[in-house]
Every structure is written in C-alpha cells, then in structure tokens.
Amino acid sequence: MKRIALFPGSFDPFTKGHEDVVLRGCALFDEIIVCIGDNSNKNRRFPVQFSVDKINDLFQNNDAIRASSYHGLTADYAKEVGANFLLRGLRNTTDFEYENTIAQANRHIFTNLETVFLITSPQYAHISSTIIRELYKYGQDVSDFVPYSLS
C-alpha cells in the first residue's frame, strides 16, 4: 500500500522550517500532499491559491510532493485523497500541547489516521510564519526564512 501523508497547515507563508519537514518526510512516505485549509482565507496575509502555486513551483522537480487546498475537516480530506498519515512538525512544548489535542481528535474521527511528528531541525527552530508576517509587514527582508519569493 502506498504511504500517503498530508502535511496540513496555514502556511501563511510556507517557511524553510516547513520545507525541511517535507523533505525529511520524503524518507518516510511515498507521497506528501502539502495542504492549506481554505477556511480562514479572509484572515490570511498571502492568498491560499498564491501559496499553493508557490509550493508547487518549489517542489516541481519532486514527483512525490504536491500542494493543494481543502475545505472542511483535515481528517475528511485525508479520507478523500486516500492519505493514512498526517505529517506535522514540533518546535517546542507549545507546539506539543496543541498538536497533542488535534492528533487525538483526528484519530477519534478517523481511527486509521496516524499523525507522525518530526522534531524541528535546530537551524529552523526559531522560524514561524507569524514572525515572518510581522517582519514582512514592516518591510524587512524575509528571504532567509521563506524558500520562494513573496512577490
């Protein structure tokens, strides 16, 4: 059976920390779908479709990785695309508390859906989309943190 993982997130924007999780995930899964939940579009800094296109461009030479958006529950989308794994990253205990709750809930809804966590690589541990949005808003160069051009 093909091991397909969803890597769900806001990715507003997708960062070098996210990219690292995806590339390391390639050793574990046959296919990784980076997917952006389209529920909170109005609060985003970068539009969903813009980010999906940028992520697809970034991984255009890797057939095992693609990006998409979805509506509704992540577990339902996993079922729809035949994914039996969720991939998530962990930076610290705050991430852990949050991820633990979400993973338990998802597993309750869809018993075969396992969440697999990759601990952040230390050089990316400090990178967050929130900080990047803040720096970008005030005109700072964020190219060290984002693997594609934001324009």
Return the beta strands (E) in 41-106 as ranges: 65-70, 85-90
Active site annotation includes 18:
yes
3 is catalytic: no
Instruction: Provide the minimum distance between the beta carbon of 37 and ligand ADP in the complex, in angstroms, as a whole number.
Output: 7
| Minimum CB–partner distance for residue 118 and ligand ADP (Å) | 7
Q: Which of 16, 44, 45, 91 is catalytic?
A: 91
- The catalytically annotated residue of 10, 18, 51, 88 is 18
Cβ-based nearer residue to ligand ADP, 60 or 130: 130
Which residue, 22 or 110, is less far from ligand ADP as judged by CB? 22
Provide the 10 A C-beta neighbour count for residue 115: 19
Tokens at residue 101, please?
Answer: 């709750």
Token pair listed for 126: 């400090």
CA distance 52 to 34: 8
Which position has the token pair 């779908």? 33
Nearest to 25 by CA among 79, 83, 69: 83
Integer CA distances (angstroms), 72 to 38, 40, 44, 84, in order: 8, 11, 17, 17
Nearer to ligand ADP, 45 or 79 (CB): 45
By the criterion CB under 6 A, which residues form the site for ligand ADP? 9-11, 15, 17-18, 21, 88-91, 95, 120, 124, 127-129
What minimum distance in Å lies between the beta carbon of 149 and ligand ADP? 19
Report, as residue numbers or ranges, the catalytic residues.
Answer: 18, 42, 91, 129
